[in-house]
Amino acid sequence: MSGGAAQALPGEQVHITTSPDTEPFWEAAKAGRLTACQCGNCGEFRMPPSPFCPNCQSKKVTWPELSGRATVFSFSVVHGFPGLEDIVLVAAVLDLDGAPGARLVSDIVGIDPDDVTIGMEVEAFFSPIADGWKLPLFRPVGSTATND
């Protein structure tokens, strides 16, 4: 790995909590698919998932499979983490391709933080975390970087 490339936290340190609203997202990620919560009535996307559509109050939801591509809406570079002084994290807010209005907060890895720009295209990959789950992380399109 090149010296300054951004990483995400080691997977074994990442613990998630699922709820009935979020479990479809995590089950899809475990299977290597990126999805987002979409209203089954009016079609509006919403992330994070919630029980009611804020637009039409419907409780119907669908979970369409997305391409895994995303565009950087905003990001911040974080130097160091308790116990991991040398780590550099790029925490990004991402617009998900195929799900207008759905934004996901995740980390971008495999890139020098200085090279991350608003509007750049990234794509998801699925990195093992605690308890057998997988976390969608993002890397530049065409990159084969992982968080191992």
The yes or no reply on residue 56 touching Zn ion (CB under 5 A) is yes
Q: Put residue 60 in one of left, alpha, beta given phi > 0 → left and psi -120 to 50 → alpha.
A: beta
Task: Show the binding pattern over residues 6-45: x = contacts Zn ion (CB under 5 A), - = does not.
Answer: ---------------------------------x-xx-x-
Establish whether the linkage from the previous residue to 136 is cis, with ω within 30° of 0: no
Q: State in angstroms the smallest separation of the CB of 59 from Zn ion.
A: 9
The yes or no reply on residue 55 touching Zn ion (CB under 5 A) is yes
Q: Which amino acid type is present at position 124? A: A
Assess contact for 97 and 70: CB atoms under 8 A. yes
The one among 53, 108, 111, 129 contacting Zn ion by CB under 5 A:
53
CB atoms within 10 A of CB 107: 21
Tell me which residues touch Zn ion (CB under 5 A).
Answer: 39, 41-42, 44, 53, 55-56, 58
